[in-house]
Structure 1
Amino acid sequence: MSDIQAYAAMEAGGRLEPYTYNPGALPANHVEVEISACGLCHSDLSMVNNDWGASQYPLVPGHEAVGKISKVGEAVKHLEVGQTVGIGWTSQTCQHCSPCLSGSQQRCTSAVSTIAAKGGFANRIQVQDIWAVPLPDGMDAKSAGPLFCGGITVFAPMMDYGLKPTDRVAVIGIGGLGHLAVQFAHAWGCEVTAFTSSMDKEAELKELGAHHVANSRDAGAMKALRGKFDFIISTVNVDLDWASYLATLRSDGQLITVGAVDKPMGIPAFSLISGGKSVGGSDTGSPDMVARMLEFCTRHNIKPMVEYFPMSDVNDALAHLKSGKARYRIVLTN
């Protein structure tokens, strides 16, 4: 087995450096993929910096990889060499725990994350076959990577929490995840409002499918929206005045967070009791749900807005992401 050429952080917060490793023999239920492009997610930055206390070094980030299968294990029956596939946050699951058997493999009790197994900032990657999801015909492989994390992260709660086409939906935080959430909710048939603190994005957000754009820093605008929404999805990883957002929900409305807020969310009990409102969270999605999302994107021409960097300029790409200037997703290309 030939070595894999990658980029790795050798310590918490360190610059990524060229890194070579031998993946060993290809397991029977795995495939090897030659990576053509890999999205850059804020979670990659969090893992490089060990923000969650779970990183191990050398650490190869990257969990939005797309490429062609170059090898298949002897037990793999549904994939073949030459197929274009994508890989997201998860690279291996046990297939026998309760979440796996119930179709929620992303919640496997012994799941291995793609980054923990050495991720997609590389020329090749090995993953369990079920987590290499084929791209539909006609989907642009170069820009598809962000769908495998950013996309499924906002698509899954719309499926899991029963979003209806008659719903009024608000999206908090219009970045890598939020700009996809707006497109999904619009294609779902919903009336969509985008909450943003950057009103210079208004025209662009309406092109993406937002019917309304609201300034989240304008107390008057927030007050005018009280009791409007059936469903709010928050993509931000910072603490907000959650009571003011709960006030914009209608009776039985739901506020779902997919952003990893790093401290407890202050949710007033009476804000939930009054109107029977609820707050929930969501992670990613099963391989089947990822495949459904990809089909939905193809049907409705939903695409991430991306900026491209060569894989060799990975540190410049990380700096661009950290600056907050990316619009709206970064993809590294081999």
Structure 2
Amino acid sequence: MTEVKAMAALQAGEPLQPFSYELGPLGDDEVEVAVHYCGLCHSDLSMIDNEWHMSKYPLVPGHEIVGEVAAVGANVPHVRQGQTVGVGWYSRSCMHCHECMQGDHNLCSTAESTIVGRYGGFATRLRAHWGWVLPLPDGLDPATAGPLFCGGTTVFNPILQNHIRPTDRVGVVGIGGLGHLALQFLRAWGCHVTAFSTSPDKEAEAKQLGATDFVATAGPNALARLANSFAMILVTVNVPLDWEAYAKILKPRGCIHIVGAVPSVTIGGFTLIGGQKSISGTPLGSPATQADMLAFAARHAVAPIVEPFPMSKVNDALERLRSGKLRYRAVLQNDLG
């Protein structure tokens, strides 16, 4: 039996507090990871507050995990004890359904989320199915790589799914935890990238991260001059938008692709029909997509901008996130024992 020390919310919206539990016998298809670092994602906050009405308490958040393989089950084929690995939003899928067999493990109807109905990575140990445990490539810093396993995959997968070419113009709405990674990936991909933000003071940093152009969207008719421009508008925010205005700046066959938890999308049918435009979304990515993303990030020096915190001070990090002051991701270093 393995005793685990963790930080948990005992009720919705409460500060996290020390919590301990035991792991049962290691499954034949499981990897046990000694957690060294774990990113703090807005989804962790949503789960702590039960915004999505699926949280179970005590809740141990954390799904951007980097650590060391502490033990492997009898049927684990590809990682070894002592290896540096990461785990993201998903910790298991069935490996036999149609979606899994064609490589869309993230679309498996029984896929297990790392912090839904189980204990996550704000802890000393975590277990996951071997298929979702990925070795960290050389060139990526374990102390900052955690957010790539959720945020990085979330914004990289749409580039693949929408067949974005280096010659395309792409817009990124929101320059936060997701958006600041999207700018870096798209710049490295070769695209002409436009950052859209309600905060004009983010222009300089957005351009440093990879934006070719910057549009402050707070003013009237801010988007009108961009009609017929973009192959994809990647929406990384979770707030209502003027969907009609964004659809009008897509070029024919362009798409609005949603990865932020927006409350709703309202758009006229003819706005889409006339230019054969579309609205789409993706839930993170498969293990293969994650591996490609990690390799691409290592090759092109794509890295999250992070603020480090001891894991025992996770409530300080959560307060930074709630206040909107975090730039752009918190990473917790495990000091729980």
TM-score range, shorter chain: over 0.9
- Structure 2 distance, partners of 1:297, 1:272, is 34
- Structure 2 distance, partners of 1:23, 1:12, is 24
Deviations 1:74-101 (A, max 9, x none): 1112110011001000011111111111
Deviations 1:264-295 (A, max 9, x none): 31111121012111111111111111010000
SS at match of 2:193: strand
Q: Check if 1:66 corresponds to 2:66.
A: yes
- Structure 2 distance, partners of 1:241, 1:268, is 12
Instruction: Tell me the residue number matched to 2:187.
Output: 186
Instruction: Tell me the residue number matched to 2:78.
Output: 78
Q: Check if 1:332 corresponds to 2:319.
A: no
Instruction: Tell me the residue number matched to 1:284.
Output: 284
SS at match of 1:62: coil
SS at match of 2:164: coil
Instruction: Tell me the residue number matched to 1:25.
Output: 25
Deviations 1:4-33 (A, max 9, x none): 000111111111111101111110111111
Instruction: Tell me the residue number matched to 2:120.
Output: 119
What one-letter code is carried by the residue in structure 2 that aligns with 1:150? G
SS at match of 1:91: strand
- Structure 2 distance, partners of 1:194, 1:43, is 23
- Structure 2 distance, partners of 1:151, 1:158, is 12
* Superposed displacement of residue 297, structure 1: 0.4
Deviations 1:168-202 (A, max 9, x none): 00000110000111111111111000001111111
Work out the percentage of aligned pairs sharing the same amino acid. Answer: 53
- Structure 1 distance, partners of 2:231, 2:95, is 35
Instruction: Tell me the residue number matched to 1:176.
Output: 177
- Structure 2 distance, partners of 1:100, 1:186, is 31
- The correspondence of residues 126-137 of structure 1 with structure 2, limited to 5 A, is 126-137=127-138
- Structure 1 distance, partners of 2:240, 2:85, is 36
Deviations 1:103-153 (A, max 9, x none): 111111111110122100011111111111001112100100000001100
* Superposed displacement of residue 219, structure 1: 2.5
* Superposed displacement of residue 221, structure 1: 2.9
Deviations 1:35-77 (A, max 9, x none): 1110000000000111111111111000001001011111112
SS at match of 2:144: helix
User: TM-score with structure 2 length normalisation?
Assistant: 0.97
User: TM-score with structure 1 length normalisation?
Assistant: 0.98
Query: 5+ unaligned residues in a row in structure 1: which ranges?
Result: none
Instruction: Tell me the residue number matched to 1:150.
Output: 151
- Structure 2 distance, partners of 1:273, 1:236, is 25
Deviations 1:223-277 (A, max 9, x none): 1111111111000111111101111111111110011112x31111121012111
- The correspondence of residues 238-317 of structure 1 with structure 2, limited to 5 A, is 238-262=239-263, 264-317=264-317
- Structure 2 distance, partners of 1:235, 1:274, is 25
What one-letter code is carried by the residue in structure 2 that aligns with 1:89? W
- Structure 1 distance, partners of 2:221, 2:161, is 33
- Structure 2 distance, partners of 1:217, 1:99, is 41
* Superposed displacement of residue 220, structure 1: 3.7
Instruction: Tell me the residue number matched to 1:160.
Output: 161
- Structure 2 distance, partners of 1:243, 1:221, is 13
Instruction: Tell me the residue number matched to 1:201.
Output: 202
Q: Aligned residue pairs: how many? A: 333
* Superposed displacement of residue 311, structure 1: 0.2
Instruction: Tell me the residue number matched to 2:323.
Output: 323
- Structure 2 distance, partners of 1:180, 1:271, is 30
What one-letter code is carried by the residue in structure 2 that aligns with 1:154? V
Query: 5+ unaligned residues in a row in structure 2: which ranges?
Result: none
- Aligned-residue CA RMSD (Å): 0.9
* Superposed displacement of residue 2, structure 1: 2.3
What one-letter code is carried by the residue in structure 2 that aligns with 1:213? F
